[in-house]
Amino acid sequence: MLKPLLTASALAAVMMTAVFAQTTTPTTPMDPPSAKEPTVQTPAPKAGTAMNAATGETFLTQQSADEWRATKLVGSSVVGPDNASIGDVNDLVLEGNGTIKAVVIGVGGFLGIGEKNVAVPFKSLIITHAQDSEKIGKVSATFTKDQLNNAPTFQWYTVARNTTTEKRPQTAPSQ
């Protein structure tokens, strides 16, 4: 119940941003530009984007056919070059600049038991839409099932914790 409400709120905020970005404030001309001063023309925003006139920031307004939603990618089955099932997409690893560095695929095991995570470069996947749908139809990897089963297990980042415990001095029992 909460997820659809949050999604609708986020969508409304994005749509309002596009509306505000497209409104213009009327200006009154001061002095006409002289012949010596070059005029600067701002390039028009690309299709599917809107520009905030105040800050110059560009916002994405719609998804294109070659872009993928993370919520649709996570959980998708992955097949190898031989079209044999390899595993499922468990997660994505993002770089600091926002690009997807790797896709974490759960391989081996049965019903999640004995499964290990292997991170493969995002560019090693071929993702296609389902016919006449926005859903993901197929995720293919350039790796075989055996290659991923033999690949090293991906380790998630964890913060080092202080494992030493402070020992308190023992006091003699009172009588």
Task: Map out the domains of the chain as residue ranges.
Answer: 7-21+48-62, 70-149
pLDDT band at 167 (very low <50, low <70, confident <90, very high): low
pLDDT tens-place string over residues 95-151: 999 999 999 999 987 766 789 999 999 999 999 888 888 788 899 999 999 999 999
- Rg of the chain over CA atoms, in angstroms? 26
What gap in Å lies between CA 151 and CA 145, rounded to an integer? Answer: 10
What is the average pLDDT value for the chain, to the nearest integer? 76
Is-contact 103 125, C-beta < 8 A?
yes
Fold classification of 70-149 is SH3 type barrels. (2.30.30)
What gap in Å lies between CA 57 and CA 45, rounded to an integer? Answer: 10
Query: Where do runs of H (alpha helix) occur along the chain?
Result: 2-22, 70-73, 145-149
pLDDT band at 67 (very low <50, low <70, confident <90, very high): confident
pTM (2 decimals)? 0.60
Most confident of 12-26, 69-83, 161-175: 69-83
CA distances from 160 to 59, 127, 157, 163 (A): 38, 36, 9, 9
